[in-house]
Amino acid sequence: MTSDPKADFVWMSDISASTNDERAPIAASTSAVFTRLSSLGIDFRMGVVKHTSNHVTNRTPAGQLLSPGFTRDGPTFQGWWADTAGSDGQEYG
């Protein structure tokens, strides 16, 4: 028995100021990822977790997917890369 390939992807978005110039190119390239996965017939969903917490700040909820959790919609996914709410200028390396 064979089944259609399925995959869920969770991306981490570093929202610190040092990555401000890197989020837009990532968002722009996601359409190529969505197109390629679709052309391969992969049933996929994408989610984004913002990197806003570490052992120093202990902010919660660490590791929570942006609402609504997962999406198959490219523009929604791209919009999540512009979301820097919660950034406090700290570097989380």
Greater pLDDT, 88 or 84: 84
Alpha-carbon distances of 31 from 18, 34, 48, rounded to whole Å? 24, 5, 15
What's the gap between Cα 10 and its chain centre? 6
pLDDT in tens, 32-81: 999 999 999 999 999 988 876 555 555 556 677 888 889 999 999 999 88
- For 1-93, strand residue ranges (E) read 6-14, 43-51
Give me the mean pLDDT over the 15-39 stretch.
89
Q: Is residue 18 very low, low, confident or very high in pLDDT (cuts 50, 70, 90)?
A: confident
What is the per-residue pLDDT for 89?
A: 63
What is the per-residue pLDDT for 13?
A: 85
What is the per-residue pLDDT for 70?
A: 93
What's the pTM value of the predicted model, to 2 decimals?
Answer: 0.76
Owner of token pair 């722009």: 28
What is the per-residue pLDDT for 64?
A: 76
